[in-house]
Amino acid sequence: MAFGKLKSKYFPKDFTWGVATSAYQTEGAWKADGKGLSIWDEFTNDRKFKNGNGNIATDFYAQYKEDIQLIKTLNLKAFRFSISWTRIFPEGVGQPNQAGVDFYHKVIDYCHKKDIEPWITLYHWDLPMALEEKGGWTNREILDWFSYYVDFCTKEYGSKVKNWIVLNEPMSFVGLGYFMGYHAPGRKGLKDFLSAAHHTTLCQAHGGRIVRRNIPEAYIGTTFSCSVVSPKNFWPRHIKAARRMDALLNRFFIEPALGLGYPTDVIPGLNRIEKYFQAGDEELLKFDFDFIGIQYYFRIIAQFSLLPPILFANEIPASKRNVKTSPLGMEIYPKGLMKMLKQFNKYKNVKDIYVTELGVCFDEKLIGGKLEDDNRVKYYKKTFKICRRAIIKGIRLRGVFLWTLVDNFEWADGIKPRFGIVYNNFRTQKRTIKKSGYWIQEFLKK
């Protein structure tokens, strides 16, 4: 089938086409109406951080109606957004902040008014700073803190929202935030990583159980970042290095939930995580999710290395491999999506699969008064074709969420990277639909 003829009608009628965002990257209003500080507020407002902050972001807090109307205009049917924990509980626990509670009711209600299906992500990286000061994800008490938060949100919004995602990309926020220090809260080291990882995996399952208890008919999932990992060459040591990296990036958080435990078969050094186990944890790590979300952006080429220890593998940067890259330096490798879909589909206990983030960072050009981003259009054409082929092959793919609606604050990389199908002028907060947005609109037109 030619790219130009690809239409949404070739997908199942109940296939979900949506768009994904996160609270910190879009809401702004970082101190408004009783909101508390998150680790990202603290991290990006530190004078040592040079890439800006999300204090205003895309001003979704004030412009949520305009953005939800954009979703409607572009013929998308689902809106995945996250709740800011500190907008509900400024100190992480305690008395809820009514203004924050009311805000998400307004967002949900306006989605329903526009016939947009809300999908809530409970945790998208913005841990309350008050909890981080007590150890954050490295403190086992986070099971109680997270349970308190999830219990409240599901009771508060459960009558209006069916679709719930517990965590967004645990490997990203644990690995980048508690091992490499590149993301908030900026911690480094194996000890912090292993303790935070185990407590995160416990919360992943326990959060699912709370959603199920409070909303018996809920459709419950969680999301995983994933990357195709290929060896530098066919030397055994590089092949083994790629397997270890694949285990860390693609298996580490999903397999415990499936009852398979951590992938110590490939990375024996991960046995050190057992130091943080308590009696019964093997069972507590498990939860029968209704679906999983995968979030694919780039390929990694791995090679053997003495550093870091335990993993004994590192990545060869895309800049040194003569491949096509995005402005963020990530290899653009759309066909890797099929490999990841196949890999996760092989798990017998995985039911439905969604691509809960699918996007690419490109710069756009103003041509004839229109924002042209042909490279992004080409990327979506290629990946949508891959999704269609995956369904034909019997992969249990049920939907796709584009990352993202409006150009936003891209974490440690600031506002320069643009992933949106709608352009945002960060000075005026004016939205302008890009060529890719109009292509999506036409693609989804009935």
Asked whether 103 and 63 are in contact (CB, 8 A), the reply is no
In whole angstroms, give the CA distance from residue 327 to residue 331. 10
Question: Per the residue annotation, which of 42, 169, 364, 410 is the catalytic one?
Answer: 169
357 is catalytic: yes
Distances in Å between the Cα of 213 and the Cα atoms of 35, 71, 115, 154, 204 are 28, 31, 27, 9, 15
Q: Which secondary-structure segment (H or E) carries 119? A: strand 117-123
The DSSP line for 309-356 is: TTT-EEEPPGGGTT--B-TTS-B--TTHHHHHHHHHHT-TT--EEEEE
- Three-class HEC string of 36-71: CCEHHHHHHCCCCCCCCCCCCCCCHHHHHHHHHHHH
Per-residue DSSP letter, 429: T
Question: CA angle 179-181-186, nearest 5°?
Answer: 115
Pairing between β-strand 422-425 and β-strand 430-433 as defined by DSSP bridges: antiparallel
Asked whether 242 and 231 are in contact (CB, 8 A), the reply is yes
Question: Per the residue annotation, which of 132, 255, 331, 357 is the catalytic one?
Answer: 357
282 is catalytic: no
Pairing between β-strand 117-123 and β-strand 430-433 as defined by DSSP bridges: unpaired
Task: Give the CA dihedral 258, 236, 299, 296, nearest 10 degrees.
Answer: -10
Q: Give Cα 327 to chain centroid, integer Å.
A: 20
- Residues labelled as active-site residues: 169, 357
